[in-house]
Amino acid sequence: MAITLCPVCRKKISTRAPRCPHCHEDVSGNDPELASRQRSQQRKKSNAMKIQLALAMTLLVICIGLMLLEMNQGKPLPSPWYIGIGLAAAAWYVVTRLRMFLSHR
């Protein structure tokens, strides 16, 4: 018996269960409306994550650019703001990548 995620409430359920024991949604696969709703939800989620990836990447590139600019102007260290925001953007990127990877399993 395998375990899957309920497409509606995202809780763990058996693949054999015709209905989710948590939210009582029909998960037997005989509900075409649910299947298409699930697909469009997944598409929306993956699009949102792609946008987040692009934003995080843009932020990271801007921060690195600003840091390089500062170093070119002869400062020994870039502003801690750029380092902080750059690190946050990098972390955001990695977390979003991880979430995409997990949701595609």
Looking at 4, 5, 9, 19, which residue binds Zn ion (CB under 5 A)? Answer: 9
Letter string b/e over residues 3-38, b meaning 16 or more CB atoms within 10 A of that residue's CB: eeebbbeeeebeeeeeebeeeeeebeeeeeebeeee
Residue 22 interacts with Zn ion (CB under 5 A)?
yes
Answer yes or no whether residue 20 interacts with Zn ion by CB under 5 A.
yes
* Structure-block tokens of residue 78: 């870039």
Query: Is 12 a residue that touches Zn ion (CB under 5 A)?
Result: no
Residues 6+ apart with CB under 8 A from 5: 11, 12, 13
Using CB under 5 A, count the residues that bind Zn ion.
6
23 belongs to the binding site for Zn ion (CB under 5 A) = yes
Interacting stretch for Zn ion, rule CB under 5 A, among 13-21, 35-43, 59-67, 70-78?
A: 13-21
Q: Is 49 in the site for Zn ion (CB under 5 A)?
A: no
Part in contact with Zn ion (CB under 5 A); list of ranges 17-25, 37-45, 46-54, 83-91: 17-25
CB 71 within 8 A of CB 93: no
Write the single-letter amino acid at 50: K
Please report, as ranges, the residues that interact with Zn ion according to CB under 5 A: 6, 8-9, 20, 22-23
